[in-house]
């Protein structure tokens, strides 16, 4: 049968059509119908210009085709090209090529409609985005892969299979807008939030946050910081130090030894596909000569169980945890291959940069100044909106503008506005006004590039001692500990003090091995130095928080 032949050769005939076939039956049928309409209009009216262009901001295109795997790629394979605000089928394009792709789609569509080739119902379409215990929003059906990342990334979640020839960086960004705006709705599922809350030691984190807020207020009595601000910091620290683990190479499933990634992908099995792991890394053990699987899960429910991954998994799971605790949160996508979270602080009336994989809050210049990234597009997604937040993360706006060549600014702006208009249609008037006011505040922030001082990574570094204390930029209290020799030490004329960096305590050997817990409790003065536990690297170290602009490190002990 013709349909059966397509199933065995669609990859070579059309990568885009093969990709389109990976969608659920309902999604495929709806998208294919629209694709055939576009193609047939041109074939029937080859000289009519109005059928040769598709406005990208058009609701039908932006909601029914753009989020669908392979759909836009099919248009490019037909011969469409990307213009400023439209996809154009130029006069030089081959009508025969358009007819070929159109026929491949029609064959597959007909086979599904009449049921003559049931094998084409791809396994992905038979598997839910989550387990039966947690039903995720139906809107996720068109995005079984989870949040979109930069194509070909290595740190975040895996990208989709290679796109068809002709797919541009601009179309990638447009698809990211649609896919991620849909994905963040997963975090709003109440059952999933309950599952996340069951993993979080909420009361313990609240206790710690209240204690630190109390101490910070002693230093800055006029602070407007709230319990929620400090709770966010405790959540970040807990997530990094106690809950999630970074993965480079996994342990061998047989001997437990180290493996090395072979840079190849394995075919995902049914269970891995169920949880959105469209890519499975192959990690090889030389000793056992055995491959171990590392599925790159995109479903945050599964990540609550696996508790490991790279920046994509970290941001995905942490954003869910933020929503579970009631924080307004955004999932932030960076075109240069990183993802993180933003959380809104009502007390500070602004969005805070939060990178769970770094245990960092409100240091938006970390990537450009600290890591040396060449930023171009940074987009933030929440249940209510998508915002281009690139300017928050840069102090070199002119350089960023020179790199923003992947998509026309007018098209990006128009697409974002249209998506936000659709997303906010069901919101109350008061909520829309609130979002508008926040956007105005953000725009004011964006048009004023930061000029960081040596040692700064952006954020709010002035006016609030309490906030700097909370983020670890200043010591909570300056104890100025002075060691006064005991009678025994006077007699022996010796004061012997040892510090155990692992146990984080001093042993005063010359005074009957007295224990003093906490390294800061034995220090007279300190500047720009902190103790940090690096569980990912199995080490503990003293370090300067900002390494690019090295400030003088000062650490003093004092004896009278």
Task: List, in order, residues 6 or more apart from 139 with CB less than 8 Å away.
Answer: 182, 185
* pLDDT at 402 exceeding the cut of 90: yes
Q: What CATH number does the domain containing 191 carry?
A: 3.10.620.30
pLDDT for the residue numbered 549: 36
Residue 265 lies in a domain: no
Residue 374 lies in a domain: yes
Residue 193 lies in a domain: yes
More confident residue, 145 or 131: 145
Q: Pick the catalytic residue: 21, 74, 311, 354?
A: 311
Q: Tell whether 455 and 399 lie within a shared domain.
A: yes
Q: What CATH number does the domain containing 516 carry?
A: 2.60.120.1020
More confident residue, 263 or 298: 298
Q: Tell whether 337 and 445 lie within a shared domain.
A: yes
355 noted as active-site residue:
yes
* pLDDT at 120 exceeding the cut of 80: no
Contact 505, 518 (CB under 8 A): yes
Residue 454 lies in a domain: yes
Q: Tell whether 510 and 412 lie within a shared domain.
A: no
Dihedral sign from CA coordinates of 117, 119, 120, 124 = positive
Contact 443, 351 (CB under 8 A): no
338 noted as active-site residue:
yes
Q: Tell whether 449 and 549 lie within a shared domain.
A: no
pTM of the model as a whole: 0.63
* pLDDT at 2 exceeding the cut of 60: no
Q: What share of the chain in percent tops pLDDT 90? A: 41
pLDDT for the residue numbered 140: 33
Q: Tell whether 39 and 59 lie within a shared domain.
A: yes
Query: Lowest mean pLDDT: which of 102-106, 109-113, 339-343, 448-452?
Result: 448-452
Q: 558-559 and 482-483: which strand pairing?
A: parallel
Residue 447 lies in a domain: yes
Q: How confident is the model at residue 91 (pLDDT cuts 50, 70, 90)?
A: confident
Task: Give the count of domains, the chain.
Answer: 3
Residue 279 lies in a domain: no
CA dihedral 435, 438, 440, 441 (to 10 degrees): 180
Q: What share of the chain in percent tops pLDDT 70? A: 76
pLDDT for the residue numbered 123: 31
Residue 275 lies in a domain: no
DSSP per-residue letters across 481-528: -EE---HHHHHHT---EEEETTTTEEEEGGGTTEEEESGGGG-SEEES
Q: Tell whether 542 and 453 lie within a shared domain.
A: no
* pLDDT at 17 exceeding the cut of 80: yes
Q: Tell whether 499 and 397 lie within a shared domain.
A: no
More confident residue, 142 or 533: 533
Task: List, in order, residues 6 or more apart from 274 with CB less than 8 Å away.
Answer: 127, 128, 131
pLDDT for the residue numbered 400: 96
List the structure tokens of 468: 């700097």
179-205 average pLDDT score: 96
Q: What CATH number does the domain containing 81 carry?
A: 1.20.58.2190
Q: Tell whether 355 and 322 lie within a shared domain.
A: yes
Q: Tell whether 29 and 105 lie within a shared domain.
A: yes
pLDDT for the residue numbered 183: 94
365-375 average pLDDT score: 90
The sheet carrying 280-285 orders its strands as 260-266, 280-285, 290-295
Question: Pick from 442, 470, 498: which residue ends a domain?
Answer: 470
Give residue for tokens 């004092």.
Answer: 558
pLDDT for the residue numbered 525: 67
Question: Pick from 450, 470, 490: which residue ends a domain?
Answer: 470
Residue 302 lies in a domain: no
Q: Pick the catalytic residue: 86, 338, 362, 388?
A: 338
Q: Tell whether 534 and 465 lie within a shared domain.
A: no
pLDDT for the residue numbered 471: 55
Residue span of the structural domain in which 382 resides? 185-242+310-470
DSSP per-residue letters across 204-248: HHHHHHHHHHHHHHHH-TT----HHHHHHHHHHHHIIIII-EE-S
Question: Pick from 84, 109, 126: which residue ends a domain?
Answer: 126
Q: Tell whether 537 and 493 lie within a shared domain.
A: yes
Query: Lowest mean pLDDT: which of 145-159, 224-238, 421-435, 482-496?
Result: 145-159
Q: Pick the catalytic residue: 229, 334, 355, 388?
A: 355
* pLDDT at 51 exceeding the cut of 80: yes
Q: Tell whether 438 and 463 lie within a shared domain.
A: yes
| Dihedral pair phi/psi, residue 338, rounded to 5° | -160, 160
* pLDDT at 459 exceeding the cut of 70: no
Q: How confident is the model at residue 164 (pLDDT cuts 50, 70, 90)?
A: very low
DSSP, collapsed to helix, strand or coil, labels residue 405 as coil
* pLDDT at 397 exceeding the cut of 90: yes
More confident residue, 131 or 222: 222
Q: How confident is the model at residue 436 (pLDDT cuts 50, 70, 90)?
A: very high
């Amino acid at each position: 049968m013709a349909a059966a032949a397509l199933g065995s050769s669609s990859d070579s005939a059309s990568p885009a059509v093969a990709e389109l076939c990976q969608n659920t039956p309902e999604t495929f049928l709806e998208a294919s119908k629209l694709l055939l309409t576009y193609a047939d209009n041109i074939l029937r009216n080859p000289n009519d210009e109005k059928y040769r262009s598709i406005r990208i901001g058009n609701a039908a295109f932006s909601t029914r085709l753009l989020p669908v795997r392979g759909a836009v790629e099919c248009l490019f394979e037909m011969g469409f090209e990307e213009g400023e605000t439209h996809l154009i089928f130029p006069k030089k394009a081959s009508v025969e090529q358009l007819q070929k792709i159109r026929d491949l789609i029609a064959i597959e569509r007909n086979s599904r409609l009449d049921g003559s080739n049931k094998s084409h119902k791809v396994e992905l379409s038979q598997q839910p985005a989550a387990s039966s215990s947690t039903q995720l929003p139906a809107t996720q059906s068109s995005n079984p892969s989870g949040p979109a990342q930069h194509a070909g990334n290595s740190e975040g979640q895996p990208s989709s299979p290679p796109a068809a020839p002709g797919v541009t960086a601009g179309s990638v960004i447009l698809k990211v807008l649609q896919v991620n705006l849909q994905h963040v709705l997963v975090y709003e599922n109440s059952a999933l939030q309950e599952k996340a809350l069951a993993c979080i030691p909420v009361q313990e984190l609240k206790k710690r946050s209240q204690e630190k807020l109390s101490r910070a207020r002693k230093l800055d009595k006029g602070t407007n910081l709230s319990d929620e601000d400090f709770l966010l910091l405790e959540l970040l620290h807990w997530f990094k130090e106690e809950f999630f683990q970074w993965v480079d190479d996994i342990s061998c499933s047989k001997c437990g030894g180290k493996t090395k990634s072979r840079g190849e992908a394995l075919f995902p099995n049914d269970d891995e596909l169920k949880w959105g792991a469209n890519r499975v890394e192959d990690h090889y053990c030389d000793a056992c000569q055995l491959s171990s699987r590392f599925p790159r899960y995109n479903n945050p429910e599964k990540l609550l169980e696996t508790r490991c991954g790279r920046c994509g998994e970290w941001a995905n799971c942490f954003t869910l945890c933020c929503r579970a605790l009631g924080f307004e949160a955004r999932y932030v996508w960076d075109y240069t291959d990183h993802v993180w979270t933003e959380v809104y602080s009502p007390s500070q009336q602004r969005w805070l940069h939060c990178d769970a994989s770094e245990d960092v809050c409100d240091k938006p210049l970390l990537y450009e100044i600290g890591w040396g990234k060449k930023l171009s597009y940074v987009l933030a997604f929440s249940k209510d909106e998508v915002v281009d937040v690139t300017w928050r993360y840069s102090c070199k706006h002119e350089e960023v503008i020179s790199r923003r060549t992947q998509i026309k600014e007018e098209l990006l702006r128009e697409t974002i506005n249209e998506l936000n208009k659709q997303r906010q249609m069901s919101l109350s008037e008061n909520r829309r006004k609130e979002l508008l006011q926040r956007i105005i505040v953000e725009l004011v922030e964006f048009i004023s590039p930061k000029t960081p001082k040596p040692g700064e990574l952006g954020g709010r570094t002035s006016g609030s001692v309490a906030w700097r204390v909370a983020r670890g930029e200043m010591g909570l209290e300056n104890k100025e500990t002075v060691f006064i020799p005991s009678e025994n030490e006077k007699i022996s004329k010796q004061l012997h003090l040892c510090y155990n960096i692992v146990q984080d305590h001093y042993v005063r050997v010359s005074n009957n091995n007295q224990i003093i817990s906490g390294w800061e409790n034995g220090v007279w003065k300190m500047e720009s130095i902190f103790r940090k536990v690096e569980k990912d690297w199995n080490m503990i170290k003293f370090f300067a928080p900002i390494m690019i602009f090295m400030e003088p490190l000062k650490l003093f002990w004092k004896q009278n």
